[in-house]
Amino acid sequence: MRRRKPPTPPSPLPQRDGVDPVRVRQPLDGSWATVRDHLVGRLAAGDGVIDAMIAEGRILRADGSPVTDRTPYEPGGYVWFHRDLAPETPVPFDVHVVYRDEHIVVADKPHFLATTPRGSHIAETVLARLRRDLGIAGLGPAHRLDRLTAGLVLLVVRPEERGAYQTLFRDRLVTKEYEAVAAYDPDVALPVTVRSRIEKERGVLTALEVPGGEPNAVSEVRLTAHRGGLGLYRLTPHTGRTHQLRVHMNSLGLPILGDPLYPRIAEPVASDDFRRPLQLLARTLEFRDPVTGREHRFGSDRALAAWESYESWDQ
How far is the C-alpha of 262 from the C-alpha of 247, rounded, in Å?
A: 7
How far is the C-alpha of 80 from the C-alpha of 14, rounded, in Å?
A: 10
Per-residue confidence (pLDDT) for residue 4, from 0 to 100: 65
Pairing of strands 60-61, 217-227: unpaired
Instruction: Supply the pTM of this predicted model.
Output: 0.91
DSSP 159: G
Cβ atoms of 34 and 73 closer than 8 Å: yes
CA dihedral 182, 188, 193, 199 (to 10 degrees): -60
* Type of residue numbered 265: I
Indicate if 146 belongs to the active site.
yes
- Among residues 51, 146, 185, 289, the one annotated as catalytic is 146
Reported as a single tens digit per residue, the pLDDT across 53-83 is 999 999 999 999 999 999 999 999 999 999 8
Q: Any bridge partners for residue 8, and if so which?
A: none
Residue-wise pLDDT tens for the chain (315 aa)? 455 667 889 999 999 999 999 999 999 998 899 999 999 999 988 889 999 999 999 999 999 999 999 999 999 999 999 988 889 999 999 999 999 999 999 999 999 999 999 888 999 999 999 999 999 999 999 999 999 999 999 999 999 999 999 999 999 999 999 999 999 999 999 999 999 999 999 989 999 999 988 999 999 999 999 999 999 999 999 999 999 999 999 999 999 999 999 999 999 989 899 999 999 999 999 999 999 999 999 999 999 999 999 999 998
* Type of residue numbered 206: T
